[in-house]
């Protein structure tokens, strides 16, 4: 199978290398700049190919993969639809936010269209290809296209689930909350540490094992039972000490502390925290 990738960035490079490891016969790239195109094609070794025009990439490829930034997809789709014959070819993009509907101009001229979203964060081609081995994918699109991708992912031993275009924004919001939201929460914790006089490097190296332990608890026990800490225990005195200290020493952080506390309280109330009086007092302390 020959794969043509438009957009030789982080995910494009990672996916091309992963597809090479999974036996792709050829992985060709077309990108905005020659430097990115050459770098990504070199990464995949002998099967790599550099394209300087999209018409050749379309002609030579069985699969056409779009890994350009989300905002660029409509323009690139238009260009591809105008410059090549995509009839019978599989065309998909890898955005989590957009559905395959954005590929309509290509579907109208006979392409089988889908979106294939990896639930992972990719910083570069090499580490990204390693991560793809255990990545779970969300697939959405035309039945014919989805079934080809299902078959490929099954052979590659990747887990996946199929979603609809309507489900995709909520699905992607969940992925963004977990990945980007966690990063924001860690940054927030570092600000609290800084307010306590603990410098960032020391704080981060202390917090990372705690994050790993928490992820392990979630894996082993599920979300509701994995929750530990003062809110799950209903330790009102501890939350009073937190809010008073933050209000006194870092008042700019209080609102976010309370917002995260309310999220935690909702989880605690699912199974661990049952006392209505404690819940009401915690709600009061965690209200803005």
Ligand X SMILES: NC(=O)c1ccc[n+]([C@@H]2O[C@H](COP(=O)([O-])OP(=O)(O)OC[C@H]3O[C@@H](n4cnc5c(N)ncnc54)[C@H](OP(=O)(O)O)[C@@H]3O)[C@@H](O)[C@H]2O)c1
Whose Cβ is closer to ligand X: residue 74's or residue 193's? 74
What is the binding site for ligand X (CB under 6 A)? 6-12, 31-33, 36, 67-70, 72, 75-76, 94-96, 117-118, 121-122
Cβ 143 to ligand X shortest distance, Å:
23
Alpha-carbon 234 to chain mean position: 34
Phi and psi for 172 in degrees, rounded to 5? -70, -35
Cα torsion through 47, 53, 56, 60, rounded to 10: 30
Task: Identify whether the C-beta of residue 37 lies closer than 8 Å to the C-beta of residue 31.
Answer: yes
Whose Cβ is closer to ligand X: residue 21's or residue 32's? 32
Cβ 84 to ligand X shortest distance, Å:
14
Cβ 285 to ligand X shortest distance, Å:
37
Cβ 107 to ligand X shortest distance, Å:
18
Contacts of residue 65, defined as CB under 8 A and 6 or more positions apart, other chains included, come to 3, 4, 5, 6, 12, 15, 91, 92, 93, 94
Whose Cβ is closer to ligand X: residue 89's or residue 242's? 89
Burial class (CB in 10 A: 0-12, 13-18, 19+), 181: middle
Task: Please state, as a whole number, how many other Cβ atoms lie within 10 Å of the Cβ of residue 160.
Answer: 21
Report DSSP state, residue 100: G
Whose Cβ is closer to ligand X: residue 165's or residue 260's? 165
Cβ 126 to ligand X shortest distance, Å:
14
Cβ 163 to ligand X shortest distance, Å:
14
Whose Cβ is closer to ligand X: residue 163's or residue 192's? 163
Residue nearest to ligand X (CB): 9
What's the CA gap between 50 and 174, in Å, rounded?
36
Cβ 137 to ligand X shortest distance, Å:
10
Structure tokens, 154? 């099954």
Angle at 213 (CA atoms; ends 207, 215), nearest 5 degrees: 105
64: left (phi over 0), alpha (psi -120 to 50) or beta: beta
């Amino acid at each position: 199978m020959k794969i043509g990738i438009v957009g030789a960035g982080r995910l494009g490079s990672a996916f091309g290398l992963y597809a090479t490891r999974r036996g792709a016969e050829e992985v060709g790239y077309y990108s905005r700049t020659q430097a990115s195109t050459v770098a990504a094609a070199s990464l995949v070794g002998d099967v790599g190919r550099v394209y300087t025009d999209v018409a050749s990439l379309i002609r030579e490829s069985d699969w056409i993969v779009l890994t350009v930034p989300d905002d660029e997809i409509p323009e690139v789709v238009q260009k591809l639809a105008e410059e090549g014959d995509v009839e019978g070819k599989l065309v998909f993009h890898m955005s989590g936010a957009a559905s395959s509907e954005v590929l309509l101009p290509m579907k109208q001229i006979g392409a089988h269209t889908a979106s294939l979203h990896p639930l992972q964060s990719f910083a570069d081609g090499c580490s990204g290809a390693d991560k793809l081995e255990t990545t779970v994918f969300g697939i959405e699109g035309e039945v014919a296209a989805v079934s080809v991708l299902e078959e490929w992912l099954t052979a590659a031993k990747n887990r996946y689930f199929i979603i609809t275009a309507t489900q995709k924004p909520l699905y992607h919001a969940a992925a963004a909350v977990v990945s980007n939201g966690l990063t924001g929460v860690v940054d927030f914790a570092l600000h609290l540490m800084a307010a306590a006089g603990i410098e960032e490097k020391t704080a981060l190296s202390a917090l990372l094992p705690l994050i790993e332990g928490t992820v392990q608890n979630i894996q082993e026990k599920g979300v509701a039972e994995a929750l530990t800490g003062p809110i799950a225990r209903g330790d009102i005195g501890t939350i009073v000490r937190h809010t008073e200290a933050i209000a006194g020493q870092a008042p700019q952080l209080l609102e976010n502390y309370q917002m995260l506390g309310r999220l935690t309280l909702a989880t605690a109330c699912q199974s661990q925290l049952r006392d209505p009086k404690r819940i009401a007092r915690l709600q009061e302390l965690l209200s803005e």
